[in-house]
Amino acid sequence: MPVMSIRAPETTLYPAVKRFLEAQGFEAKGEIRGCDVVAVRGDEQAVLAICELKTAFSLELVLQGIDRMRAADQVWLAVAATRKGRDRDTRAHRLCRMLGFGLLAVDPVRSRVDVLVHPEPYRPRPNKPERKRLFREHAARRGDPTEGGSTRQPIMTAYRQQALDCAAALREGPKKPRDLRPVAPDAASILQRNVYGWFERVERGIYRLTEPGEAALRRWT
The pLDDT value given to residue 4: 43
Residue 151 lies in a domain: yes
Q: Return the percentage of the chain with pLDDT > 90, whole number.
A: 62
**Range in 20-24, 125-129, 194-198, 216-220 the model is least confident about:** 125-129
Q: What is the distance, to the nearest Å, from the Cα of residue 6 to the centroid of all Cα atoms in its chain?
A: 25
**110 and 27 both lie in a single domain:** yes
**Residue 193 in contact with residue 217, Cβ under 8 Å?**
no
CA distance 31 to 26: 16
CA distance 96 to 93: 5
Name the domain boundary from 94, 117, 140.
117
Residue 1 lies in a domain: no
The pLDDT value given to residue 100: 94
Residue 5 lies in a domain: no
This prediction's pTM = 0.59
**142 and 207 both lie in a single domain:** yes
Strands 112-117 and 199-203: unpaired
Residues 6 or more apart whose CB falls under 8 angstroms from that of 183 comprise 165, 166, 168, 169
**89 and 174 both lie in a single domain:** no
Does the pLDDT of residue 149 top 80, yes or no? no
The pLDDT value given to residue 2: 43
Name the domain boundary from 93, 117, 141.
117
Q: pLDDT band at residue 1, thresholds of 50, 70 and 90?
A: very low
Does the pLDDT of residue 112 top 50, yes or no? yes
**196 and 173 both lie in a single domain:** yes
Q: Which residues span the domain enclosing 200?
A: 128-220
Domain count for the chain: 2
**100 and 155 both lie in a single domain:** no
The pLDDT value given to residue 122: 67
